[in-house]
Amino acid sequence: MRAMIIGRWQPPHKGHIEVAKQILREVDELIVGIGSAQESHTLENPFTAGERVLMLTRALAAAGIDLSRVHLIPIPDVNNNAVWVSHVISLSPPFEIVYSGNPLVRRLFKEAGFKTKIQPMFKRKEYWGTEIRDRMIKGGRWEELVPKAVVKVMREIKAVERLKDLSKTDYLLR
Amino acid sequence: MRAMIIGRWQPPHKGHIEVAKQILREVDELIVGIGSAQESHTLENPFTAGERVLMLTRALAAAGIDLSRVHLIPIPDVNNNAVWVSHVISLSPPFEIVYSGNPLVRRLFKEAGFKTKIQPMFKRKEYWGTEIRDRMIKGGRWEELVPKAVVKVMREIKAVERLKDLSKTDYLLR
Amino acid sequence: MRAMIIGRWQPPHKGHIEVAKQILREVDELIVGIGSAQESHTLENPFTAGERVLMLTRALAAAGIDLSRVHLIPIPDVNNNAVWVSHVISLSPPFEIVYSGNPLVRRLFKEAGFKTKIQPMFKRKEYWGTEIRDRMIKGGRWEELVPKAVVKVMREIKAVERLKDLSKTDYLLR
Amino acid sequence: MRAMIIGRWQPPHKGHIEVAKQILREVDELIVGIGSAQESHTLENPFTAGERVLMLTRALAAAGIDLSRVHLIPIPDVNNNAVWVSHVISLSPPFEIVYSGNPLVRRLFKEAGFKTKIQPMFKRKEYWGTEIRDRMIKGGRWEELVPKAVVKVMREIKAVERLKDLSKTDYLLR
Amino acid sequence: MRAMIIGRWQPPHKGHIEVAKQILREVDELIVGIGSAQESHTLENPFTAGERVLMLTRALAAAGIDLSRVHLIPIPDVNNNAVWVSHVISLSPPFEIVYSGNPLVRRLFKEAGFKTKIQPMFKRKEYWGTEIRDRMIKGGRWEELVPKAVVKVMREIKAVERLKDLSKTDYLLR
Amino acid sequence: MRAMIIGRWQPPHKGHIEVAKQILREVDELIVGIGSAQESHTLENPFTAGERVLMLTRALAAAGIDLSRVHLIPIPDVNNNAVWVSHVISLSPPFEIVYSGNPLVRRLFKEAGFKTKIQPMFKRKEYWGTEIRDRMIKGGRWEELVPKAVVKVMREIKAVERLKDLSKTDYLLR
């Protein structure tokens, strides 16, 4: 059986890797859908799809996950919820079950006849994209929340500098 | 004379049907523009254009309106206000007057040389999409605000379940 | 039962009206999907979706068809075949069977689990959009191929003049 | 050397003209990028790209700036930050330095290897699009904040009426 | 009076400059619409809008044309002929008359109520984009067909090399 | 070093797998860009991006290639050549060299400063997507041209039936 898990992974954190491991105990292959793939360089979505592919690949490999059982699929938004499930299906190998923490995602797949699940949770509220991006901007200790492999990519792409720049207020050209 | 009335009809309510009746006393034919046609499955726009076509057709017929005098036209957004009037014109039979409660809609048609009117109002504040959607989510009495024909379609498409699902908070995959 | 028939109706001709009549003997309601709705003013697609709505409405009414059993739905192209069926579904009341002369349309609906049919044919090769548009440009007798109601709309919108203009060769600004 | 300055110019004000003058003391040619070119008729972006081209051309000419040293380039949004710099480059003559008050704009060009600068400021907080649009809606003294040439275009296009219309609340068709 | 002339200018040639000069004898200002602005790097449209802006600016200046009487406006395609005129209007200062060698362009503006003209011609068939691009690929004498200022830009951007590369046949990855 | 190879893989054939093997002897990791990812169900592009991902993954694995050294990245078209390289970069982990048999692809990456190569060829003219699709339609022996793993996926998705259906002529609804 093949499962799909859909998120934005801005950035991937330790909780995400645990989720992936746990799902892979139950299914044969896992498709990791990278949502809002066309977004980057905003406070909400700072990293490109390609940067997220790289972070996920390295973090999954470092966690000992067999990459031949995982497919990473960037999924650009379509801004039309009624066609979104078809769009995801067209970009991905076939799957039977969908994990997501997003109720819209689960609703859309449910209406299309898919089995959906809230993914297993690792509740500590630090494992949360918003918290991590906030710490990066304010100079907090974000490194402990993400896998070492992700920290390394973050440094290569100067992620902290990017987030700090983006958080400055636009004040003049209005 | 042919009139255009533009709304989102999320969902059509009793006030809308009264408006249609009243306008049809003044003009020969009425075009019902279904705005934001590409939107669905959000709290603001829960229903697809097709679902709205079905609700409107049945509610208008049940109200005794002669459907040969009415055209239902789904109008997807174009995200460029300067071309929106041309877009509406291209999708619709010709019309001379535009009714809308939306000041942007009236402004755009006015600049294009159309006669515009605020549609006749049925002021009771319950006849209001936001109120109806809110009652559906919170388990209130929404059925009395919409025509019976609309209630019936709502049940067929499990509308209350959809709205409740969409109102759940997204908490994990951020 | 509700059926969908999808075409471009550039323009609607007598064969189309016969098809609609025949299908309406077999089903309760007929949805007429107006494909490539965003196209107009080309030799292949000279008429806007709105002009086609007007021609179809009048021709169907003149043929004695009960308009409360017919839905006209403009369907803009999406340029992604894999999501096209979802797109059509989202714009239309529900339907169970699809008629089309276009093999791609039938294939896409077949893969989505719909029953599909080649529509009943009225074979005379004059009942054919290309032939009609060609006669309009060359000054031939096109009027006998389309319903009188369509001829009337054609005159109102100066259709022959439009087609002749569009057929002129672009020669300078290349 | 050629410089690019990017803004939305909704509307161009006296501060903008001073900025242009000052930059033109340092570089040979100035490209004025008109951002969000597809936007108009909203409270945030009331004027079309064409209206902004006209206001800027006249105000720059009235300020004695040699128009052969200035290029006005409308730049529609692309909603994909990762390709936005390429998009700007493709629409514009080549440039080496970018002025902008928008930190996202500066960040994107910096990552693409461009020299970026916060433009010279004329700090009085009145020289600020939001302030000007607000005064226009509320009947305040906005004319003193923009060049006379801009006031003239505003009158021709009935800008105050447009802004007041757009500021009315949408209350019925929800 | 302000006139609009619309073309693709791939590339601007001597005939184009003569046309501009002649129109400027009849009107106050000339808007040069650069059509298919989003196209580049194809055999039909090898140059970006920005490259065409640069070529036109320099060639017009070299011909002694007062640039304060000319506006260059890149116009991306919209793939919906019915909204194209509104799109052009929104990007440009107001104009009253349209020159074009393209019958579709003239037809669309005519239906929108504009005065249209086939532009004055300089018939020699060499003054023709297709001919020039063909000579560039085959090593012919294209330089005599375009203004010297255009030849200079062509060299800066290595235009001949680009066209030759694009003309190679794609043979393997099909 | 990481290399990118871009193709449409409609379908992947034995020549493609040999190319991948050979490049992987020279570089550390290979990114396989799946071009025109939004296309499917046409004679030129019959398979969805997801189907191509599945075919490639299985064929590469069956050829003994270590999947942790390969990234498969679906790349939707953008219809603007000037931003296409940025678009590819944003979807992919970083790379230094680009292999392609398409001269436009090589030209665009060359202008962006990348090293480009015509990929190593396996010239037999059977290893060619057009040939394979043609044999599938005409009932020829296509199976010998693609890896066994691809044949298996083709059977699962009823590829031959799809291609035959798509090759039928559209004859009526014109």
Residue B53, CA atoms < 13 Å, CB-side half-sphere: 25
B55: closest CA of chain C, how far (Å): 9
Structure tokens at A150: 């992700």
Q: Is the dihedral of CA A103, A106, A112, A116 positive or negative?
A: negative
Chain C residues contacting F, CB < 8 Å? 6-8, 10, 79-82, 100-104, 106-108, 110-111, 118-119, 121, 128-130
Q: How far is C101 from chain F (nearest CA, A)?
A: 5
Chains E and B, touching by 3 or more CB pairs within 8 angstroms: yes
Tokens of D95: 């440039």
Per-residue pLDDT reduced to its tens digit, C110-146 = 999 999 998 776 655 667 899 999 999 999 999 999 9
Task: Tell me the pLDDT of chain F (174 aa) as tens digits.
Answer: 999 999 999 999 999 999 999 999 999 999 999 999 999 999 999 999 999 999 999 999 999 999 999 999 999 999 899 999 999 999 999 999 999 988 899 999 999 999 999 877 665 566 789 999 999 999 999 999 999 999 999 999 999 999 999 998 654 433
Q: How far apart are CA F148 and CA F163, in angstroms?
A: 19
How far apart (Å, rounded) are the C-alpha atoms in residues B172 and A101? Answer: 5
Sequence-ordered list of residues with C-beta below 8 angstroms from that of E164, at least 6 positions apart, any chain? E136, E137
Taking the C-alpha atoms of E168, E170, E172 and E174 in order, what is their torsion angle to the nearest 10 degrees? 180
pLDDT tens-place string over residues D89-129: 999 999 999 999 888 999 999 999 999 998 776 655 667 89
pLDDT at res. A174: 37
Q: Could you give the CA distance from residue C51 to residue C63 in angstroms, rounded to a whole number? A: 18
Residue type, D125: K
Interface of F with C (CB under 8 A): 38-42, 48, 162, 165-174
Instruction: Please tell me whether the peptide bond between F11 and the residue prior to it is cis, using omega within 30 degrees of 0.
Output: yes
Q: Which two tokens stand for residue E169?
A: 């046949």
Residues in chain B: 174
Interface test with B, best of C9, C34, C47, C53 (most B CBs within 10 A): C53
DSSP state of B34: E
Separation of alpha carbons E14 and E60, rounded Å: 10
Asked if pLDDT for residue D17 goes beyond 70, the answer is: yes
Query: Would you call D90 and E49 a contact, using CB atoms and an 8 Å cutoff?
Result: yes
Q: At what angle do helices B159-167 and B129-138 cross, to 10 degrees?
A: 80
Residue E170 and residue F102: Cβ atoms within 8 Å? yes
CB atoms within 10 A of CB F141: 8
Q: What is the pLDDT of residue B118?
A: 86
Residues of D in contact with E52 (CB under 8 A): none
Q: Are C92 and C31 in contact (CB under 8 A)?
A: yes
Asked if E14 and E145 count as a contact pair (C-beta separation under 8 A), the reply is yes
The Cβ of residue A79 has, within 10 Å, a number of other Cβ atoms equal to: 12
pLDDT at residue E120 is higher than 80: no
Chain B residues bordering chain D (beta-carbon distance below 8 Å): 6-8, 10, 79-82, 100-104, 106-108, 110-111, 118-119, 121, 128-130
By percentage, how much of chain D surpasses pLDDT 90? 86
Q: Looking at chain D, which residue has its C-alpha nearest residue B99?
A: D173
Q: Give the total residue count for chain E.
A: 174
Choose the closest CB to D50 out of E51, E67, E92. E92
Nearest to E168 among F103, F121, F130 (CB): F103
Q: Any residues with CB less than 8 A from the CB of A7 and at least 6 apart, and which?
A: A16, A32, A33, A34, A35, A100, A101, A102, B173
A123-132, B153-162, C59-68, D27-36: the lowest-pLDDT one = A123-132
A169 CB contacts (<8 Å, ≥6 apart)? D103
Which one of A38, A40, A93 has the shortest CB-CB distance to F53? Answer: A93
Distance from the Cα of C49 to chain F's closest Cα (Å) equals 15
Contact D165 B106 (CB under 8 A): yes
Residue A95 is classified by DSSP as -
Residues of F in Cβ contact (< 8 Å) with A76: 76
Mutation for E interface: D31, D73, D158, most E CBs within 10 A: D73
| pLDDT of C57 higher than 60 | yes
Q: Give the one of A39, A166, A172 whose C-beta lies nearest to D107's C-beta.
A: A166
Q: How many residues belong to chain F?
A: 174
Residues constituting chain A:
174
Q: Which residue has the tokens 């020289």?
A: D127
Write out pLDDT tens, residues D45-97: 999 999 999 999 999 999 999 999 999 999 999 989 999 999 999 999 999 99
Tell me the torsion sign for CA atoms F58, A78, E50, D111: negative
Q: Which residues of B touch C78 (CB under 8 A)?
A: none
Residue identified by tokens 């726009």 is: B45
Contact criterion met (CB < 8 Å) for E87 and B87: no
Which residues of F lie inside 8 Å of E (Cβ-Cβ)? 6-8, 10, 79-82, 100-104, 106-108, 110-111, 118-119, 121, 128-130
Give me the amino acid identity at F81: N
**ipTM computed for the complex:** 0.92
Contacts of D25 (CB under 8 A, 6+ apart): none
> In angstroms, what separates the C-alpha of E93 from chain B's closest C-alpha?
14
Is pLDDT at E144 greater than 60 in this prediction? yes
C71: β partners: C31
Whether chain D lies against chain F with 3 or more Cβ pairs closer than 8 A is yes
Q: What is the pLDDT along chain B (174 residues), one digit of tens a residue?
A: 999 999 999 999 999 999 999 999 999 999 999 999 999 999 999 999 999 999 999 999 999 999 999 999 999 999 899 999 999 999 999 999 999 988 899 999 999 999 999 877 665 566 789 999 999 999 999 999 999 999 999 999 999 999 999 998 654 433
Contact A72, A56 (CB under 8 A): yes
CA distance B151 to B164: 16
- Is residue D157 within 8 Å of residue D37, measured between CB atoms? no
Which member of F82, F101, F110 has the closest CB to residue E173?
A: F101
Domains of chain E, earliest start first? 2-167 (3.40.50.620)
Which residue type is seen at A130?
A: T
Long-range own/partner contacts, residues D49-52 (CB < 8 A, 24 or more apart): D49/D74, D49/E90, D49/E91, D50/D74, D50/E73, D50/E89, D50/E90, D50/E91, D50/E92, D50/E93, D50/E94, D51/D153, D51/D157, D51/E93, D52/D9, D52/D10, D52/D11, D52/D12
Least confident span in A114-118, C71-75, D43-47, F170-174: F170-174
Output the six-digit token pair for F155. Answer: 């059977």
Please give the residue of chain E at the shortest CA–CA distance from C47. Answer: E82
State the Cα–Cα distance between residues C94 and C108, nearest whole angstrom.
17
Best to test chain C binding among E107, E118, E122 (most C CBs inside 10 Å): E107
pLDDT at B174: 37
Q: In this structure, are residues B51 and B9 in contact, taking their beta carbons and an 8 Å threshold?
A: no
Confidence tier at A122 by pLDDT (50, 70, 90): low
By C-alpha distance, which of B84, B114, B116, B89 is closest to B103? B116
Contact C103, F165 (CB under 8 A): yes
Q: What angle do CA D88, E133, F107 make, to 5 degrees?
A: 50
Neighbours of chain A (3+ CB pairs under 8 A): B, C, D, F
Distance from F128 to chain A by nearest Cα, in Å?
Answer: 23
Partner residue opposite C82 with nearest CB, options A80, A82, A86 = A86
pLDDT in tens, F26-72: 999 999 999 999 999 999 999 999 999 999 999 999 999 999 999 99
What residues of B are in contact with residue E78 (Cβ under 8 Å)?
Answer: 83
Tokens 């990519």: give the residue: A153
Residue E61 contacts residue D68 (beta carbons within 8 Å):
yes
C-alpha distances in Å from residue E141, one per residue of E10, E127, E145, E148: 16, 13, 8, 13
Q: What is the model's pLDDT at position E128?
A: 83
Nearest CB partner across the interface for A166, out of D10, D104, D130: D104
Q: If phi over 0 gives left and psi between -120 and 50 gives alpha, with beta otherwise, what is residue A42? A: beta
Give the nearest partner residue to C48 out of E7, E82, E129, using CB atoms. Answer: E82
The answer to whether D42 touches B79, Cβ cutoff 8 Å, is no
pTM of the entire predicted model: 0.94
Which ranges of chain D does DSSP label H, i.e. alpha helix?
A: 14-26, 49-62, 81-91, 103-111, 129-138, 148-156, 159-167
- By the 10 Å C-beta count (0-12 exposed, 13-18 middle, 19+ buried), D117 is classed as middle
3-state DSSP assignment of residue C72: strand
Q: Which of D40, D68, D91 sits opposite E50 (nearest CB)?
A: D91
- Please name which of C116, C134, C117 lies closest in space to residue C125, comparing C-alpha atoms: C134
Q: What's residue F118's pLDDT?
A: 86
Q: What does the pLDDT average to over A105-133? A: 85
pLDDT of C128 reads 83
Q: How far apart are CA A14 and CA B54, in angstroms?
A: 47
